[in-house]
Amino acid sequence: MNDPRSTDPSMDRARRQVLALGAAGAALALGLPAARAAVASASPAPDFTLRSLDGPNLRLLEQRGKVVLLNFWATWCAPCREEMPQLNKLYEKYRASGFTLLGVNVDEDSRNAAGIAGQLGVKFPVLLDSDKRVSKLYDLSAMPSTVMIDRDGRVRFLHRGYKSGTENEYDQQIRTLLKEA
Protein backbone atom coordinates (compact mmCIF):
# COMPACT_ATOMS: atom_id res chain seq x y z
CA MET A 1 0.00 0.00 0.00
CA ASN A 2 1.46 3.37 -0.96
CA ASP A 3 1.57 5.97 1.75
CA PRO A 4 1.38 9.46 0.23
CA ARG A 5 3.29 10.85 3.19
CA SER A 6 6.37 8.78 2.28
CA THR A 7 7.25 11.53 -0.25
CA ASP A 8 6.02 14.39 1.92
CA PRO A 9 8.95 16.78 2.52
CA SER A 10 7.56 17.55 5.96
CA MET A 11 8.16 13.95 7.07
CA ASP A 12 11.32 13.99 9.14
CA ARG A 13 14.46 12.28 7.89
CA ALA A 14 14.39 9.49 10.49
CA ARG A 15 10.90 8.40 9.50
CA ARG A 16 11.85 8.29 5.81
CA GLN A 17 14.88 6.18 6.74
CA VAL A 18 12.74 3.81 8.79
CA LEU A 19 10.42 3.34 5.83
CA ALA A 20 13.38 2.71 3.53
CA LEU A 21 15.21 0.36 5.86
CA GLY A 22 12.22 -1.53 7.22
CA ALA A 23 11.86 -2.85 10.76
CA ALA A 24 15.34 -4.37 10.86
CA GLY A 25 16.95 -0.98 10.39
CA ALA A 26 14.52 1.02 12.47
CA ALA A 27 16.67 1.04 15.59
CA LEU A 28 19.70 2.29 13.70
CA ALA A 29 17.73 4.89 11.75
CA LEU A 30 16.34 6.26 14.98
CA GLY A 31 19.82 6.35 16.51
CA LEU A 32 19.11 3.59 19.01
CA PRO A 33 21.33 0.58 19.67
CA ALA A 34 19.87 -2.41 17.83
CA ALA A 35 20.70 -4.88 20.58
CA ARG A 36 19.21 -2.78 23.38
CA ALA A 37 16.77 -4.80 25.46
CA ALA A 38 13.29 -3.45 25.99
CA VAL A 39 11.75 -5.07 29.05
CA ALA A 40 13.26 -8.21 30.50
CA SER A 41 11.48 -11.49 29.98
CA ALA A 42 9.62 -12.72 33.09
CA SER A 43 9.74 -9.21 34.59
CA PRO A 44 6.51 -7.44 35.51
CA ALA A 45 5.11 -5.50 32.56
CA PRO A 46 5.26 -1.77 33.35
CA ASP A 47 1.76 -0.52 34.13
CA PHE A 48 0.27 2.41 32.26
CA THR A 49 -3.01 4.12 31.49
CA LEU A 50 -3.73 5.48 28.02
CA ARG A 51 -6.75 6.98 26.28
CA SER A 52 -8.27 4.70 23.69
CA LEU A 53 -9.17 5.79 20.19
CA ASP A 54 -12.80 5.27 21.21
CA GLY A 55 -12.40 7.69 24.13
CA PRO A 56 -12.20 5.92 27.49
CA ASN A 57 -8.93 5.32 29.30
CA LEU A 58 -7.57 1.80 29.56
CA ARG A 59 -5.14 0.64 32.24
CA LEU A 60 -2.88 -2.36 31.64
CA LEU A 61 -3.20 -3.52 35.25
CA GLU A 62 -6.96 -3.94 34.69
CA GLN A 63 -6.16 -6.65 32.12
CA ARG A 64 -4.59 -8.90 34.77
CA GLY A 65 -5.90 -12.44 34.41
CA LYS A 66 -5.82 -12.20 30.60
CA VAL A 67 -3.04 -12.91 28.14
CA VAL A 68 -2.20 -9.53 26.63
CA LEU A 69 -0.47 -8.76 23.36
CA LEU A 70 0.77 -5.15 23.27
CA ASN A 71 1.55 -4.03 19.75
CA PHE A 72 3.36 -0.70 19.41
CA TRP A 73 2.82 0.81 15.96
CA ALA A 74 2.84 3.98 13.91
CA THR A 75 1.01 5.01 10.76
CA TRP A 76 4.28 5.86 8.99
CA CYS A 77 5.54 2.28 9.54
CA ALA A 78 4.78 0.08 6.52
CA PRO A 79 5.42 -3.23 8.38
CA CYS A 80 3.00 -2.05 11.09
CA ARG A 81 0.23 -1.61 8.54
CA GLU A 82 1.07 -4.94 6.92
CA GLU A 83 0.78 -6.68 10.29
CA MET A 84 -2.63 -5.24 11.27
CA PRO A 85 -4.87 -7.72 9.37
CA GLN A 86 -2.96 -10.61 10.98
CA LEU A 87 -3.40 -9.08 14.43
CA ASN A 88 -7.13 -8.69 13.75
CA LYS A 89 -7.34 -12.43 13.00
CA LEU A 90 -5.55 -13.34 16.24
CA TYR A 91 -7.76 -10.99 18.24
CA GLU A 92 -10.93 -12.50 16.79
CA LYS A 93 -9.64 -16.05 17.24
CA TYR A 94 -8.65 -15.81 20.92
CA ARG A 95 -10.50 -12.91 22.53
CA ALA A 96 -13.24 -15.17 23.95
CA SER A 97 -10.53 -17.35 25.55
CA GLY A 98 -9.02 -14.82 27.97
CA PHE A 99 -6.86 -12.95 25.45
CA THR A 100 -6.76 -9.29 24.55
CA LEU A 101 -4.76 -7.30 22.06
CA LEU A 102 -3.95 -3.65 22.63
CA GLY A 103 -2.55 -1.59 19.77
CA VAL A 104 -0.46 1.27 21.13
CA ASN A 105 -0.15 3.98 18.50
CA VAL A 106 2.76 6.41 18.82
CA ASP A 107 1.71 9.04 16.25
CA GLU A 108 1.61 12.62 17.51
CA ASP A 109 -1.73 13.22 15.79
CA SER A 110 -4.44 10.73 16.82
CA ARG A 111 -6.34 11.49 13.61
CA ASN A 112 -3.64 9.60 11.69
CA ALA A 113 -4.15 6.55 13.91
CA ALA A 114 -7.93 6.77 13.55
CA GLY A 115 -7.68 7.01 9.77
CA ILE A 116 -5.40 3.99 9.34
CA ALA A 117 -7.22 1.92 11.96
CA GLY A 118 -10.50 2.59 10.17
CA GLN A 119 -9.03 1.94 6.74
CA LEU A 120 -7.58 -1.42 7.90
CA GLY A 121 -10.71 -2.43 9.84
CA VAL A 122 -8.91 -2.74 13.18
CA LYS A 123 -11.17 -4.50 15.67
CA PHE A 124 -8.97 -4.46 18.78
CA PRO A 125 -8.59 -1.44 21.09
CA VAL A 126 -6.17 1.22 19.86
CA LEU A 127 -4.49 3.24 22.61
CA LEU A 128 -2.89 6.62 22.02
CA ASP A 129 0.69 7.25 23.16
CA SER A 130 1.27 10.54 21.36
CA ASP A 131 3.80 11.76 23.93
CA LYS A 132 5.68 8.41 23.68
CA ARG A 133 5.58 8.01 27.47
CA VAL A 134 4.61 4.34 27.36
CA SER A 135 6.97 3.60 24.47
CA LYS A 136 9.79 5.02 26.57
CA LEU A 137 8.59 3.02 29.57
CA TYR A 138 8.99 -0.15 27.46
CA ASP A 139 12.31 1.12 26.04
CA LEU A 140 11.36 0.29 22.46
CA SER A 141 13.90 0.34 19.67
CA ALA A 142 11.89 -0.76 16.59
CA MET A 143 8.49 -0.40 14.98
CA PRO A 144 6.42 -2.42 15.25
CA SER A 145 7.31 -3.94 18.60
CA THR A 146 5.15 -6.58 20.21
CA VAL A 147 5.18 -7.54 23.88
CA MET A 148 3.36 -10.67 25.04
CA ILE A 149 2.25 -10.57 28.68
CA ASP A 150 1.01 -13.55 30.69
CA ARG A 151 -2.04 -13.68 32.99
CA ASP A 152 0.12 -12.66 35.96
CA GLY A 153 1.28 -9.48 34.24
CA ARG A 154 4.79 -10.71 33.38
CA VAL A 155 6.49 -10.06 30.05
CA ARG A 156 6.99 -13.43 28.38
CA PHE A 157 7.87 -12.70 24.75
CA LEU A 158 9.19 -9.70 22.85
CA HIS A 159 9.23 -9.24 19.08
CA ARG A 160 10.92 -6.37 17.27
CA GLY A 161 9.80 -5.65 13.73
CA TYR A 162 7.49 -7.71 11.57
CA LYS A 163 7.86 -9.96 8.59
CA SER A 164 5.27 -12.19 7.01
CA GLY A 165 4.86 -15.32 9.12
CA THR A 166 5.65 -13.71 12.48
CA GLU A 167 1.95 -14.03 13.30
CA ASN A 168 2.45 -17.82 13.44
CA GLU A 169 4.88 -17.30 16.34
CA TYR A 170 2.36 -15.03 18.02
CA ASP A 171 -0.33 -17.69 17.60
CA GLN A 172 1.83 -20.39 19.18
CA GLN A 173 2.85 -18.12 22.06
CA ILE A 174 -0.74 -17.05 22.72
CA ARG A 175 -1.85 -20.70 22.86
CA THR A 176 1.01 -21.52 25.23
CA LEU A 177 0.15 -18.66 27.58
CA LEU A 178 -3.58 -19.42 27.51
CA LYS A 179 -2.87 -23.00 28.59
CA GLU A 180 -0.87 -21.87 31.63
CA ALA A 181 -2.86 -21.55 34.82
Average pLDDT over every residue of 47-56: 94
**Where is pLDDT greater, at 16 or 53?**
53
Give the lowest-confidence range in 12-16, 36-40, 115-119.
12-16
The pTM of this model reads 0.78
**Where is pLDDT greater, at 84 or 139?**
84
Nearby residues of 9 by Cβ (< 8 Å), 6 or more positions away = none
Instruction: Mark 126-144 as b/e (b = at least 16 C-beta within 10 Å).
Output: bbbbeeeebbeebebbbbb
**What are the E-state strand segments in the chain?**
49-52, 57-59, 67-73, 99-105, 126-128, 145-149, 155-160
Please determine, for residue 41, whether its predicted confidence score (pLDDT) is greater than 90.
no
Nearby residues of 156 by Cβ (< 8 Å), 6 or more positions away = 41, 42, 148, 149, 150, 173, 177
DSSP for 88-137, written as a single string: HHHHHHHGGGTEEEEEEE--SSHHHHHHHHHHHT--S-EEE-TT-HHHHH
Average pLDDT, the chain: 83
Residue 44 per-residue DSSP state:
B
Nearby residues of 47 by Cβ (< 8 Å), 6 or more positions away = 59, 60, 61
